[in-house]
Amino acid sequence: MALTGIQIYKLLPKTNCGECGVPTCLAFAMSLAAAKAELAACPYVSEEAKAELADASAPPIRVVEIGTGERKLKIGGETVLFRHEKTFINPTGIAVLVTDEMSDEDVAGRLERFKTLEYERVGLTLRADLFAVKSLSGDAGKFEALVTKVKSQTDGGIILMTEDPGVMEAGLKACADRKPLIFAATKENAEPMAALAKEHGCPLAVKGDGLDEVSELTTKLTEGGLNDLVIDSGARTIRKAFEDQVFIRRGALLKKYKPLGFPTIALPCEMTDDFMQETLIASMFVAKYGGIVVLSDIQGHSLFPLLLARMNVYTDPQRPMATSPGIYEIGGPNEDSPVLVTSNFSLTYFIVSGEIEASRVPAWLIIVDTEGLSVLTAWAAGKFVGDVVGISLKKSGILDKVRHKKVVIPGYAAAISGDLEEELGDWEVLVGPRESAHIPAYLKEWKVG
């Protein structure tokens, strides 16, 4: 992957002209290695050196884009095996299958659910990404008609599924401008499929019987100038498919094995007839390295958990997950409802708000900016102390929203109650439970007067 400063230095002119802004080529090379400089700053670097450096800095797993416009899906580009080592980058694309042998009703149902099943959560819109349109009949006209229908009724990305190049061509005629993923090139049809991918500038999925066959195909295709590839290892049992995902990711990252340096596509819809199990299989691919999962259907009860799994696994662990400070209304509070205050560490927020919700006591939850630290850590760091919390409460505007003058602080922050009372004047500071699990019982006892 990345070259060392010395390796880069060998590719530079070694004239120490200084025009790049640093005095020597060696210093410049070191800056490049640390990603603190751009190669373009050197006016004299040779074309060969540029190509070699670009090649060396290419990500070990290629980023492939499917679709156009707002709903363009990016997959690949991953750099780690475990999310805690850095982060996972491009979330697994979720695709729903329609075929040309489904009834109009079945197709319409999937189109409708694809459109309506959207969920707002911590400022994100969670939803499915793609339609996988599959030809079962082998009839080019039927395929084209179905693709046209899907394209006209959704702005989601499209995967065209047929191994017959003639049928594929018909599908591309209908939607090539939407940059669909062509699924799939196999040992038998690789040449005509590659020609179609090239002609239309579309990404191409490669389906092999095992990773050796996949590697041969991707090598051949990249030699032919196609780089936007997606891998289907062909495995359709849970264990084999899981292992192949691990092998592909490890091959690309640990061995820099280029033939497998592409995102993957997994097909839970071809691995079981049980819809619940299929959804569960999809969640395995969310955690273990699937670029796209193709599902036979989506329902609210299947898609929602899967989207949560994806959101969780792809959350960047380098950033403390923080909730925006401010007032959160839970259960429709009024001027007599309790006021609780806590830190803006997301996990704290989730758990505390969940417990308040569970109590069925409407309440005001005030989130103080603790820079993503939990209550105890924030208190120790001086970010959840009397004056800070007091100022946050005043600034939040909560003092005007309630008639009473009581605020509940977390039990772990009991020590701040004196300072906070001083800061707030005539307000009474109540020390709540230490553990959020005890909030419901506490709130049920809470009285305004």
Please report, as ranges, the residues that interact with another protein according to CB under 8 A. Answer: 82-84, 116-119, 121, 211-212, 215-216, 219, 237-239, 242-243, 246-247, 250-251, 254-255, 257, 259-260, 276-277, 279-280, 283-284, 287-288, 299-306, 308-309, 311-313, 315, 317, 321, 346-347, 350-351, 354, 357-358, 433, 435, 437-438, 441-442
Q: How far is the CB of 19 from another protein (least distance, A)?
A: 42
**Pairwise CA distance, residues 134 & 270, whole Å:** 12
> Toward another protein, which CB reaches closer, 205 or 309?
309
Question: Cα(308)–Cα(300) distance, rounded to whole angstroms?
Answer: 12
Query: E strands along 162-222, which residues?
Result: 181-185, 204-207
At residue 109, what are phi and psi to the nearest 5 degrees? -60, -45
What 3-state DSSP class applies to 339?
Answer: strand
Q: Which is nearer to another protein, 136 or 347 (CB)?
A: 347
Q: At what angle do helices 190-200 and 211-223 cross, to 10 degrees?
A: 50
Q: Are 45 and 39 in contact (CB under 8 A)?
A: yes
Structural contact between residues 39 and 53, judged by C-beta atoms closer than 8 angstroms? yes
| 56 within 8 A of 3, measured Cβ to Cβ | yes
d(CA 434, CA 431): 9
Minimum distance, C-beta of residue 308 to another protein, in the bound complex (Å): 4
Cα maximum dimension of the chain: 81
**Residue 295 contacts residue 268 (beta carbons within 8 Å):** yes
Omega before residue 128 within 30° of 0, cis: no
For residue 363, which amino acid is it? A
- Residue closer to another protein (CB basis): 9 or 242: 242
Nearer to another protein, 56 or 437 (CB): 437
User: Given the complex with another protein, which of 50 and 250 has the nearer CB atom?
Assistant: 250
Residue closer to another protein, measured from CB, 302 or 396: 302
Q: How far is the CB of 313 from another protein (least distance, A)?
A: 6
**To the nearest whole angstrom, how small is the minimum distance from the Cβ of residue 96 to another protein?**
14
Question: Nearest distance from residue 255's CB to another protein, in Å?
Answer: 5
Do the Cβ atoms of 180 and 159 come closer than 8 Å? yes
Closest CB to another protein among residues 72, 255: 255
Tell me the closest approach of the beta carbon of residue 117 to another protein, in angstroms: 6
Q: Please, which residue, 34 or 441, has the CB nearer to another protein? A: 441
The size of the chain, in residues, is 449
Q: Compute the least distance from the CB of residue 356 to another protein, in Å.
A: 11
306, 129 in Cβ contact below 8 A? Answer: no
Q: How far is the CB of 283 from another protein (least distance, A)?
A: 5
